[in-house]
Structure 1
Amino acid sequence: MRILLVEDDQLLGDGLQCALRADHFTVDWITSGSEVEGALKNGHFDLVLLDLGLPGMDGMQALRRLRAGDNPVPVLILSARDQLPDRVAGLDAGADDYLVKPFEMDELRARIRARMRRLADQPVQQIVVGTLAINSDTLEVVLNGEPVALSRRETVLLMALARDAGRVLTRDRLEQELYGWSEDVESNALEVHIHHLRKKLGTDLIRTVRGVGYQLVTR
């Protein structure tokens, strides 16, 4: 699960990012509302954790812009604004949940788990490319009618390629999907995951475009 954290408090943002990464989430952290729209255009996220008291464009404005643009990404507001009218306004603006600061990390984890359960209750979403099928809810992968066992990161990488099958995705784009923007990545980590995918799925499914990136072949 990839999370976009929007929080301008450096201490809180750092603590949340570290805690969520320890829970095996991919977390990208930005500090202003004006960055939200661009971040969501440049990467796939499963959840946004959104502060309201942000510099420049505040969180409420950023949320309204997302919903006005029909962006359905789930949004969990994290805010010190604890009055009932504030909570109602946030939910009416399109937030899926609202958590008042200060909060316990265990409660945030529970809210995230609840969001994941609601996603699991929705109709199964499949990405199908030829004889390859990926269940985006359960992360199950089937090739030629047979299940294929992949690690979490291998599955995330394969889903990123499959969502844009036929297009060449850059190394930077794929590393962002796997690790986020700021997590340290070993120089050959992406190549290792690609190598493992080819061993499990066949060498012809993923094509290397030298100097650019990788492409999932659609034929």
Structure 2
Amino acid sequence: MRVLVIEDDELIALGLLAGLRAHGMAADHAKTASQARAAVAATDYAAAVLDLGLPDEDGMSLLRAWRAAGSMLPVLILSARSRVEERVSGLQTGADDYLVKPFDLNELVARLQALTRRAAGRGADLIDWGVLRVDPLGGETRVGDRSVPLSRRELALLVALLNAQGRVLSAEQLKDSIYDLHDDIESNALNVHIHHLRRKLGADLIETVRGLGYRMASINK
């Protein structure tokens, strides 16, 4: 999944980006509210991590504007503002979660996984699709009793397709889920990842919908 980190502190942002990528996520960085607006307008993010003390606009104002515009982007506020009334205000404004600095990276990752799980309509971390079972947080994929090792991007691509629950995702949507904004993407990279997933998990697992994109094959096929 692809996450937008909205944080003006360079050291915190770099730590967040490195930590999220180490957990198999694609992650982009916005230093200001205006950069965040442009990024969200251009890219389909699974979630955003939002600092409130931005240099050009308070993060709460940015969140309020997104919600007023109907954006359903899952947002986790990450802030040094720790008073109960501040946390309540953030949640009432439209944040899906609120974590106080300093924070534990593993907790942040777990909370982001929970946000995206709820957004996808799932009640558990494990994703089942026929004989396929995926643990996005643990990074484990199984076909029946067989454990199948996947690369970070193969896993991210598979989770994006599973979260779509049979809906077609375009090539651009899938690239958004696995690549960072500044990644140098080869023209055939997505096709290569799809090929590897089919080889490892089954040739009929992922359907190509000509002219539209890809989707998970029906469980009943």
- Give the structure-2-normalised TM-score: 0.69
State the alpha-carbon separation in 1 of the partners of residues 182 and 86 from structure 2: 29
Cα displacement string for residues 180-209 of structure 1 (whole angstroms, at most 9, x for unaligned residues): 334321222111111110110111111223
- 2:147 is aligned to 147
For these two proteins, the number of residue pairs brought into alignment is 197
State the alpha-carbon separation in 1 of the partners of residues 112 and 160 from structure 2: 19
Distance 1:59 1:37, change over 3 A: farther
Indicate conservation of the 8 Å contact 2:78/2:98, yes or no: yes
Indicate conservation of the 8 Å contact 2:52/2:77, yes or no: no
Cα RMSD, aligned residues only: 3.7
- CA shift, 1:21, in A, is 4.6
- 2:77 is aligned to 75
- What SS is found at the alignment partner of 1:74? strand
Q: Which amino acid aligns with 2:190?
A: L
- 1:202 is aligned to 202
Structure 2: state its 5+ residue gaps: 92-96, 118-122
The ranges of structure 1 where at least 4 consecutive aligned residues each deviate by more than 6 angstroms after the TM superposition are 65-71, 118-123
- 2:136 is aligned to 136
State the alpha-carbon separation in 1 of the partners of residues 179 and 186 from structure 2: 11
- What SS is found at the alignment partner of 1:158? helix
Indicate conservation of the 8 Å contact 1:77/1:90, yes or no: no
- 1:3 is aligned to 3
Distance 1:96 1:37, change over 3 A: farther
2:100 to 82, 98, 101: 98
- CA shift, 1:28, in A, is 2.1
Indicate conservation of the 8 Å contact 1:60/1:90, yes or no: no
Distance 1:63 1:37, change over 3 A: farther
Indicate conservation of the 8 Å contact 1:124/1:135, yes or no: no
2:107 to 108, 114, 119: 114
Distance 1:190 1:76, change over 3 A: same
Indicate conservation of the 8 Å contact 1:28/1:181, yes or no: yes
Distance 1:26 1:20, change over 3 A: farther
Distance 1:160 1:200, change over 3 A: same
Pairs within 5 Å for 1:1-219: 2-7=2-7, 20-23=16-19, 24=21, 25-30=25-30, 31-32=32-33, 35=37, 42-45=44-47, 48-53=49-54, 55=56, 58-63=58-63, 73-77=75-79, 86-88=81-83, 89-92=85-88, 93-94=90-91, 96-99=98-101, 111-116=104-109, 124-218=124-218, 219=221
Q: Which amino acid aligns with 1:184?
A: D
- What SS is found at the alignment partner of 1:114? helix
State the alpha-carbon separation in 1 of the partners of residues 124 and 18 from structure 2: 28
Q: Which amino acid aligns with 2:33?
A: S
Indicate conservation of the 8 Å contact 1:129/1:165, yes or no: no
Q: Which amino acid aligns with 1:111?
A: D
Cα displacement string for residues 60-91 of structure 1 (whole angstroms, at most 9, x for unaligned residues): 1334567898876432137xxxxxxx542542
- What SS is found at the alignment partner of 1:155? helix
Q: Which amino acid aligns with 2:143?
A: L
State the alpha-carbon separation in 1 of the partners of residues 211 and 13 from structure 2: 32
Percentage of pairs with the same residue: 36
State the alpha-carbon separation in 1 of the partners of residues 215 and 110 from structure 2: 32
